[in-house]
Amino acid sequence: MGTLGWIEAFIRILMFFFGTVGNSCLWLCSLPGPQTPLRTNELLFLNLAASNLLNNCLVDLPDAMSDFAGEWFMGKAYCSIFLFCADLSETNGIFFTMFITVFWNQKLVGSLKRGGAPVRLDNLQLVTVLLAGSWIVSVSFNVPRLFFSRLEGENASRKCVEYYPSETAMVMYNSVIMALANAVPLAGTVFASLQIVVTLLQHMTRVQGLSAESHNSTGNAPPNETRSTNNDQRNTNNDQRSSGTSKNQEGPVGDLVRTRVAERNPGSSSQVRAAKSVVAVVTVFLVCWLTHLIVRITSSIHNSTLILDIATYTAASYPSIIPYMFLYGAKKLISPKQLLQKLIKTVRLLVHCRGVA
């Protein structure tokens, strides 16, 4: 195997390792407790992690093994499964990222603009239907991959590639996939993420305005009011409790408590933190998938092995990066020891459920 082959194999192994670890953590940390109901964001994360693990285990690992072997040695049957799983995970990743972005957009707007009013996507039944529909659409779109595959090259350099009955069939099929499974979800994700950015900027501007107003108004406040404000701040242990105390106060003293809390950590709420992580994920998402989309369009015009490899590695990098961002945004980053303990608890719960059944 040449230098290029070793580099490709090493990249695939890294993607497999980091993707498997990250998505396993995301999946385990999103599982509800024995007496805790399943929440909407957990269901979204569970499906995204499952789809990414499908890509890590059935695409990244076999591809790395074939690079190390110097040829495709798993036969034509697995070649079809390989191509199917790769595009299935890709399509699901795009749809699930769009759902998560729209969900946190609604959640952020409901929290900051409507005082925590319930949002439409915070509904398990609705989200379950959307996720089930996404799986069905993704499977339907990628079923042709099971049939349009073949092995090219001699025994020492065989590769698993797609083939189509004609050039027209290839262009039509890829055009439909790129339009319905790439362009439309990408547009929805961009629109929702832009709304998140605008809402965050408005929130920051509001906090800064309240801060300036409170500083001006408390300059003339009597000393006893200032002392009571200091006592209120000293007695609060977290942002939520101090916000709740300030709601019962009126005038500049209450404004000061609220703005001091906001100044101390304006992004402390879970909604704002999660929304910021979603914006970061969408940035990586756009870099990966827009590059992938451009390369796919280019490959449909001029078929090149190098171009197809770039498209493959660009798409494969996304499932290996984003689970860590979501874990950070949801405050679910845990140590290896905690991960092992959670894995043991999950295995015990599954064994118990199987024993009861």
Sign of CA dihedral 87, 93, 98, 99: positive
> Last residue of a domain, which of 243, 263, 283?
263
Alpha carbon distance 288, 272 (integer Å): 24
Alpha carbon distance 80, 87 (integer Å): 11
Residues 258 and 126 both lie in one domain:
no
Alpha carbon distance 41, 108 (integer Å): 13
pTM for the model: 0.74
Distance from CA of residue 174 to its chain's centroid? 25
Minimal CA–CA distance to 39: which of 106, 111, 109, 128?
128
328: how many CB neighbours lie within 10 A of its CB?
A: 15
Residues 336 and 253 both lie in one domain:
no
Position 158 scores a pLDDT of 79
DSSP letters for 273-340: HHHHHHHHHHHHHHHHHHHHHHHHHHHHHS--HHHHHHHHHHHHHHHHHHHHHHHHHTT----HHHHH
Position 219 scores a pLDDT of 56
Residues 22 and 141 both lie in one domain:
yes
Proportion of the chain in helix, strand, coil states, percent, rounded to 5: 80, 0, 15
65: how many CB neighbours lie within 10 A of its CB?
A: 16
Residues 117 and 250 both lie in one domain:
no
Position 341 scores a pLDDT of 62
Residues 171 and 214 both lie in one domain:
no
Residues 82 and 216 both lie in one domain:
no
Position 125 scores a pLDDT of 92
Contact 99, 44 (CB under 8 A): yes
Count up the domains in the chain and report the number: 2
pLDDT along the chain (357 residues), means of 10: 75 88 88 83 92 91 84 86 89 90 81 67 90 93 87 75 82 83 85 84 77 66 46 45 42 42 46 73 78 70 66 76 81 56 62 59
Residue with tokens 């925590």: 116
Residues 294 and 241 both lie in one domain:
no
Residue with tokens 């009955």: 165
> Residue 94 burial by CB count (10 A; 0-12/13-18/19+): exposed, middle or buried?
buried
User: Does 357 map to a domain?
Assistant: no
> Last residue of a domain, which of 241, 263, 285?
263
Minimal CA–CA distance to 317: which of 338, 300, 292, 347?
292
Residue 237 sits at the vertex; the CA angle it makes with 234 and 242, to the nearest 5 degrees, is: 75
Position 266 scores a pLDDT of 42
Position 353 scores a pLDDT of 61
DSSP state of 220: T
Helix (H, G, I), strand (E, B) or coil at 252: helix
Position 114 scores a pLDDT of 62
- Domain extent, residue 330, equals 3-204+266-345
Alpha carbon distance 240, 223 (integer Å): 26
Contact 52, 323 (CB under 8 A): yes
Position 220 scores a pLDDT of 53
User: Does 350 map to a domain?
Assistant: no
Residues 195 and 323 both lie in one domain:
yes
User: Does 356 map to a domain?
Assistant: no
Alpha carbon distance 91, 177 (integer Å): 9
> Last residue of a domain, which of 263, 278, 296?
263
Residue 173 tokens read as 């099929």
User: Does 355 map to a domain?
Assistant: no
**Domain CATH code at residue 31:** 1.20.1070.10
Residue 182 tokens read as 């790439």
Position 170 scores a pLDDT of 81
User: Does 200 map to a domain?
Assistant: yes
Residues 190 and 338 both lie in one domain:
yes
User: Does 62 map to a domain?
Assistant: yes
